[in-house]
Structure 1
Amino acid sequence: MIRPFQPYDLAGMYRVCLETGDSGRDATRLYRDPELLGHVYAGPYPVADPGLTWVAYDEHGLLGYVVATADTAAFEDWLEEEWWPGLRARYPRRAAADPGDGTQDWLRVAHLHDPPRTETDLLETHPAHLHIDILPRGQGKGLGRRLITTLTAALRERGVPGLHLGVGSGNPRAFAFYLAMGFDERQRGAWGSTMTMGLRKSI
């Protein structure tokens, strides 16, 4: 079942974010703080715009979600004003030092203290972006396609011209999925690929 986000979904979304946070694999072993990954990649989206978050459930609970913003530049401004300050107080900059034990909390702390800005050229044509995560038990059942088509329909209703996302180089299955969904690879780097979809055409 897919339905719009409700505030009580947030804990389940954080859990899914962590359990898919290593290029689609379980990242629990990589984080001392199990909420940190969700603070960056899941939590802010339904707070900033709950109308662009949908969740998927089965009989065992929440197993996937898609989150998005229609205006990435405005969202990044909102993060700086409303979301990052509280997290910076909770996770001081000194925690951005690599402890050398293989954990990745420090990378997420570095992100929230020095978040990257999306390039202007990309946002002129594809201002929206998304994150989607689905647990293994929900994969291969069409949930990803349904979540993304639900999102793109909502973005089209808002008149958003295009959508982008990032996919890590360690997740070739996701890359193939996005190609099948109608995304194109715009740019490739050592970390992975930026992919785009124009929303004035059908999937």
Structure 2
Amino acid sequence: MEIRTFTEADREELRKLFERAGEGAPTASLWGHAESEAAIYLYPYMELEPESLFIAVDDGVMVGYLTGCLDTSSFPSEDKLLEQAVRRHRLLLRPRPMAFFARTLIDTAWAAIRRQPTASGFTDERWPAHLHINVAPEARGKGAADGLMRAWQDRLRQAGSPGCHLQTLVENTRAVRFFERMGFVKHGPTPLVPGLRHEGRRVHQQTMVWTP
């Protein structure tokens, strides 16, 4: 298993991997439109911080990736990227994204009535870095995820970062166990993630943090 940083020559293959890498996970696709999701969770990392984008290659085939950012405060917010994606791809005119956003509004109202918190971004100077990681189904258990995470943690140490955070789902127990094995610990509450469903049920955000 080879772990290396992203190069421009990887762009097209990585875009294809983005669509299939999360298969089987609760967040495999958020609203069913891969190009707009890539505009939030992949393309900005290619353009703004390619040195923090790591790729796993098995026998010449790209099987996993990790997108990272050393300082979340200097990176476009997820809300801003989402607004841009909605406009650029006319998501409000597409059935699947529209259904997702409608559920989001319903869930947000449902949580407000019950005075329950909903998922949000994370800002804490103790853990300014963040990451997203995905591995194709055929490469799980082969060391791709471990290799990607170790490469990212090495970069954080070399950069002198005080720490890193990530946000996953309480219901994604496989991911939570993996992150714990890599030294991350659960942090804060577990609010509702509006709009998202897994096996027909609402899901909840789990923030986790790591300190070198």
Task: Decide: shared fold, TM above 0.5.
Answer: yes
Provide the C-alpha distance between the structure 2 equivalents of 1:77 and 1:30, rounded to a whole number of angstroms.
19
Provide the C-alpha distance between the structure 2 equivalents of 1:25 and 1:88, rounded to a whole number of angstroms.
22
Q: Deviations over 1:72-99 (max 9, x none)?
A: 011126995xx6786455224xx33783
* 2:176 alignment partner, SS class: helix
Provide the C-alpha distance between the structure 2 equivalents of 1:26 and 1:84, rounded to a whole number of angstroms.
16
Contact 2:54/2:66, CA 8 A, preserved across alignment = yes
RMSD: 3.2
Question: Hey, what does 2:88 align to over in structure 1?
Answer: 90
Cα drift, residue 189 of structure 1: 2.3
* 1:141 alignment partner, SS class: coil
Question: Hey, what does 2:36 align to over in structure 1?
Answer: 36
Question: Hey, what does 2:3 align to over in structure 1?
Answer: 2
Q: Deviations over 1:10-43 (max 9, x none)?
A: 2222323222446627947962x43222111111
Contact 1:18/1:26, CA 8 A, preserved across alignment = no
Q: Normalised by the size of structure 2, how large is the TM-score?
A: 0.73
Are residues 1:148 and 2:149 paired?
yes
* 1:35 alignment partner, SS class: helix
Question: Hey, what does 2:166 align to over in structure 1?
Answer: 165
Match runs of 1:36-185 below 5 Å:
36-59=36-59, 61-76=61-76, 80=80, 87=85, 89-92=87-90, 95-96=91-92, 99=95, 103-104=96-97, 107=100, 118-120=121-123, 123-185=124-186
Amino acid at match of 2:50: P
Q: Deviations over 1:115-165 (max 9, x none)?
A: x97343xx2110000000000111101111111111111111111100000
Measured at CA, do residues 160 and 15 of structure 1 come closer, stay the same or move farther in structure 2, by a change above 3 Å?
same
Measured at CA, do residues 104 and 6 of structure 1 come closer, stay the same or move farther in structure 2, by a change above 3 Å?
same
Measured at CA, do residues 105 and 177 of structure 1 come closer, stay the same or move farther in structure 2, by a change above 3 Å?
farther
How many percent identity over aligned positions?
A: 27
Contact 1:23/1:168, CA 8 A, preserved across alignment = no
Provide the C-alpha distance between the structure 2 equivalents of 1:29 and 1:196, rounded to a whole number of angstroms.
23
Provide the C-alpha distance between the structure 1 equivalents of 2:15 and 2:155, rounded to a whole number of angstroms.
23
Provide the C-alpha distance between the structure 1 equivalents of 2:30 and 2:125, rounded to a whole number of angstroms.
38
Cα drift, residue 169 of structure 1: 3.0
Contact 1:164/1:194, CA 8 A, preserved across alignment = yes
Q: Which has the higher contact order (CA 8 A, sep 6+)?
A: 2
Measured at CA, do residues 125 and 106 of structure 1 come closer, stay the same or move farther in structure 2, by a change above 3 Å?
farther
* 1:76 alignment partner, SS class: coil
Cα drift, residue 56 of structure 1: 1.1
Contact 1:20/1:133, CA 8 A, preserved across alignment = yes
Question: Hey, what does 1:17 align to over in structure 2?
Answer: 18
Contact 2:3/2:151, CA 8 A, preserved across alignment = no
Question: Hey, what does 2:211 align to over in structure 1?
Answer: 198
Structure 1: gaps (5+ residues): none
Contact 2:69/2:131, CA 8 A, preserved across alignment = yes
Amino acid at match of 2:135: I
Structure 2: gaps (5+ residues): 105-118, 193-203
Contact 1:19/1:25, CA 8 A, preserved across alignment = no
Amino acid at match of 1:96: L
